[in-house]
Amino acid sequence: MTFRLKENKPKRILIANRGEIATRVARACRELGHTAVGFYTDNEPNAAHLTFCDEWVHLEGHTNAETYLNIEKIVAIAKEENIDGVHPGYGFLSENTNFARRLEEEKIVFIGPHYKAIEQLGDKATSKQIAKKAGVPTVPGSTGAVPTIEEALKISKEIGYPVLLKAVAGGGGRGMRVCLNDDDVKKNFEAVQRESKSSFGNEDLLVEKFILNPHHIEVQILADKKGNTFHFFERECSVQRRHQKIIEEAPSPFIGEDEELRQNVCQTAVKLSQAVNYDSAGTVEFIMGEDKEFYFLEMNTRIQVEHPITEEITGIDLIVCMIQAAFEEDLQIPSQEWIGRTGHAIECRICAEDPITMLPAPGEVTGFETNFPQGIRFDHCLYRGLEVTPDFDPMVGKLIAKGQVRDVAIRKMRSALDALYIEGLKNNIPLHKVIMDEESFKNGNYDTNYIKNVAPQEKIDTKVDYKNVYRKLAAAEARILGM
């Protein structure tokens, strides 16, 4: 379905981000009749998202600290350009309490939750306490930051090994260590503190029970400023490398046909959101054991990378809804029961990285070709000449396939991966192909240890299919020449 404004005044919306999410937000602004204002920086004067914006503003600087992380510079530009609202996308300042507060002080709408919710849920220790108070199950472990090795050892013995040492302010798999015994705790405690301090400016850590063979299940929620909170079902995000997602799907094959469990998880996410008067799009993340008992992990107070698969199964544009909620408009969702789901959707993150080592591989895109089957969506920032540098996340696109059932979605995804060719940039498309063909994944029989246990990266064929490469290059050349 498509939502449109009725008699609401068009707004000027600044997109404080880059890449595919900036493009995604610009498209939503245009649909609603708003003016999308995009940034270009000194090192990205021709960024792909600018094509979809109505206006462009120079964000002076070369580094992230000078540009997308510079709160005062962005706020000053927003004031100068008479901006009504700022959409932060994901990453950068999307979950920065100070940024949301500064915009509010300047009477500019932050297209996300109110800053108090970001503050409460952004700290893992605080969010865990909020969850407990709201009656949301949490992983057994410390209720707050653990200051000493001695206390960490005491808690570990109480809850039983294995345990996880985890940075309070962490994310993206950094600041985490699994410990199997006392010696591991002693060895890793200060290492996690150092990594946490270096990555997040905060050395506080938690001690939690480590769930064996877990599934990473998350629930998409959306709330408005009128007290309404809705869920949009769950996503399975268990295919990960270094605790970072690379494949997501909705609905979860692990939950399967267990509708009672599905509703329990989703309503629990709503309960947590309501506990902090949440008023935007957000994602509540859970860890689910083999016994299907689930525990609250954290809440991401922003739009997620993997939001497209939820849009595909529900037919609802989450970015449009975020904008409407921010400006206190009607979401046009009469009730939770009105939100339905159909089919199955899978997302593969296309990253500039070595498909075997899965380490970032910066480079320049010298060619780009697609020939997708029906039912494929590709959100990306690719263009010939794009330089992927270590300054940014290596993800350059998200390939999304939808089918009436999971088997069809996998089949479409496998075909789409064959139809996507990126020249000049080492990428993880070969890894995705192996996973789509691998039996345990096809059967939905996997957890967060999938990469480690199945090792699909070791099954990648390193031989280049030159016939296929030349065929795609010839097709691209023919189009350029108008043949």
Q: Is 302 a catalytic residue?
A: yes
Domains and CATH numbers, the chain: 12-111 (3.40.50.20), 140-209 (3.30.1490.20), 215-469 (3.30.470.20)
Backbone φ, ψ for residue 401 (5° rounding): -120, 135
Which one of the listed residues 24, 302, 341, 414 is annotated catalytic? Answer: 302
pLDDT tens digits for 38-53?
A: 999 999 999 999 999 9
pLDDT tens digits for 355-378?
A: 999 999 999 999 999 999 998 999
Interatomic CA distance for residues 451 and 58, integer angstroms: 42
Residue 328 has pLDDT above 60, yes or no: yes
Convert 216-243 to b/e letters by CB count within 10 Å (16 or more is b).
Answer: bbbbbbbbbeeebbbbbbbbbbbbbbee
Span 104-119, average pLDDT = 97
Residue 139 has pLDDT above 60, yes or no: yes
What's the mean per-residue pLDDT of the chain?
93
Handedness of CA 30, 19, 16, 299 (dihedral sign): positive
Residue 2 has pLDDT above 50, yes or no: no
